[in-house]
Amino acid sequence: MPHTPSDPPGAASFRGWTMWGLAALFYAYGFFQRVAPSVIVDDLMRDLALSGALLGTLSAAYFYAYAGLQIPIGLLLDRFGPRIVLTVGAALATLGGVLFAQAASLEAAVAARALIGAGVGVGYISALTLAGNWFTPQRFGLVAGLTLTAGTLGAVLGQLPLALMVAAFGWRACLLVIALAGGVLTAALLAFVRDRPARAAASSATGGRRLLAPLLALAGRGEIWAYFLMCGLIGAPILAFAGLWGVPYFVHVHELTRPQASLATSAMLLAWSAGGPVFGWLAGRVERPTSVIVAAAVVALVVWAGLAAIDGLPLPVVTPAVVLAGFSGGSMIAVFALTRSRFAGEVAGTALGLVNTGVLLAGAALQTLVGWLLDLGWRGDLVEGARLYPPEAYRWGFVAFAAAASIVALVALGLATIEARRRSDPRSLIPRGHNR
């Protein structure tokens, strides 16, 4: 890792972890905001008079704003650096959080959630950019996995702890306090983050044509779209279940209290958090990283297909199953590592942003799809103004999750076949980082 001559390596290392740590903290804040609706589903459906499909649309507004800005964020990072981008993003997220806590209509809530998504959308790519600036390339995979861990810990705070706070103080007061905490984080990012070590040369400003060149270079590369699809469909079931529909599932089907249900989904997120560094580490050490993705996808497929096919599974079986599915979801870090390895150089940031877009788009789409499937299975029952969905309706959601896992497995197998052909025919090899 670069450091100034006057600084011992330990001091430079501490600075690097501090720079990355602040960005990772903001990513955790964004993940908290991402999953917060899952513990206030009944409150939102009651206070805003929402159906399942409309609630899915409300939650998805965050994802659409987040996903739609990933590539522009990559370009802005190249132009202005992480410090400015992070600060502006945190300010927007704070404003959106304040507005959401006071929203009285679906339209206002959707706009606020979109603003939150747009603001926190800078977190992950900024954290990876700072990691690239402050750490050696050999540490990138580990730091990327730890970034997911940090984000997932934020999601855990948005489960049981938030559920307990909401039970004590109400959802509006709790989310307002969380939004104001974002203001404190905004000030910290502005005050302490530095884009790169002092000795490193500052990035030169580039014109619009050069900024768009990575997009043109990537558009015709089939592998980037395979990574886009795989990463999206690996993360989407976890975002849809732990991020929105898992809590009502455990409450209505397994008769848990909301805090107990939040604990179950938190366990899934913690497993996801643990899986990220593990799969990132494995991807850097096995001969064929796609085999890691295939294995993880098969595990997820077995879990979701089992939950869909077998009626009346007890809670002691269901909870470990979704935790296992969460751990397998950490394989998305292997996809990011493949992306970074395959598309190095001047297109690396844009490639990572494009792949991350897939995660958010798929997450938003699957949340809405599951809400629509639940509405199809609804029998008209209400509990305190919120729709009560029967167990068989949730099983259709598990079918959708299983379908996503099967697609990931097939795409990864296809990439493994291409890999094998490249290895057997040296003329077909494309050097890593080479971009036409």
Most confident by average pLDDT, 208-212, 237-241, 378-382, 386-390:
237-241
Q: At 383, is the secondary structure helix, strand, or coil?
A: strand
Output phi, psi for 414, to 5 deg: -60, -45
* The pLDDT value given to residue 57: 85
- Percent over 90 (pLDDT), the chain: 48
Q: Residue 301: what pLDDT? A: 98
pLDDT in tens, 411-421: 999 998 887 77
Q: What is the mean pLDDT of residues 212-240?
A: 87
pLDDT at 2 over 80: no
Phi, psi of 133, deg, nearest 5 = -80, -30
pTM of the model: 0.76
Residues in the chain: 436
- What value does the mean pLDDT take over residues 270-280? 89
Q: What pLDDT band is residue 180 in, cutting at 50, 70 and 90?
A: very high
Q: Structural domains in the chain?
A: 12-197+211-428 (1.20.1250.20)
For residues 393 and 369, what is the distance between their CA atoms, to the nearest angstrom?
12
For 75-109, write each residue's pLDDT tens digit. 787 778 899 999 999 999 999 999 999 999 999 99
**How far is 35 from 161, CA to CA, in rounded Å?**
12
Measured distance between the N- and C-terminal CA atoms of the chain, rounded to whole angstroms: 29
Rounded CA-CA distance 174/80 in Å is: 34
- Residue in the block written with tokens 């494309």: 430
Tens-place pLDDT, residues 146-173: 898 899 889 889 888 998 999 999 999 9
Could you please report the per-residue DSSP string of 35-101? HGGGGSHHHHHHHTT--HHHHHHHHHHHHHHHHHTHHHHHHHHHHH-HHHHHHHHHHHHHHHHHHHH
Average pLDDT of the residues in 407-433: 75
User: What is the predicted pLDDT for the residue at 204?
Assistant: 42
Q: Which of 15, 23, 27, 24 is nearest to 134 (CA)?
A: 15
Question: What's the Cα-to-Cα distance from 412 to each of 33, 34, 72, 391, 419, rounded to whole Å?
Answer: 31, 28, 28, 32, 10
